[in-house]
Amino acid sequence: MKASHKNERMDREVFPIAQGSVPKCVPGTAPREKDGMIVSAQGDRNKKNPAPERSVPTGRFQSLKDAVAAFVENREATMAALNEVEDFRGKVVEHPLAGVCDGYQLFLIMALHPVRHVFQVEEIKAAPGFSK
């Protein structure tokens, strides 16, 4: 069985953006009102967006266990590195769905995005014809 985990990729890609070590990251600010919009959007399954090309599962993991291990490894590194970021609000980048976001907002997206996948799984399990 092949598995892929786009949240693992998100951790790997978003942290360097928030650190400012990605060329597309520039000094600037994003509206703080966007914080609340990000929080509410992560749990809103009424709007379903396709994954950006770079986040489409590729089957690079041989098992769900491998995907989970990579996710945990990257998430732990991200959490440890959070203490090193000095100015979450002072750097911005264009997010493919959320538009211009500052580092704090990127971390909100990264922290809350797995909730969307929990809701996806619940929808699949509740669908007619799903064998339980």
Domain definitions of the chain by residue range: 6-126
Single pTM value for the model: 0.73
The per-residue pLDDT for 38 is 93
- pLDDT, tens digit, 9 for 90 and up, residues 55-94: 788 888 999 899 899 989 988 888 887 778 788 899 898 8
Spatial separation of the C-alpha atoms in residues 103 and 110, rounded to whole Å: 10
DSSP H helical segments within the chain, as ranges? Answer: 6-19, 33-42, 64-81, 103-126
pLDDT, tens digit (0-9, with 9 covering 90-100), for 87-117? 889 989 888 888 999 989 988 998 888 888 8
Tell me which of 85 and 35 has the higher pLDDT. 35
- In the block, tokens 């942290």 appear at 15
Spatial separation of the C-alpha atoms in residues 28 and 83, rounded to whole Å: 21
C-alpha to C-alpha distance for 30 and 8, rounded to whole angstroms: 25
Please give the helix or strand (H or E) that residue 91 lies within, else none: strand 91-95
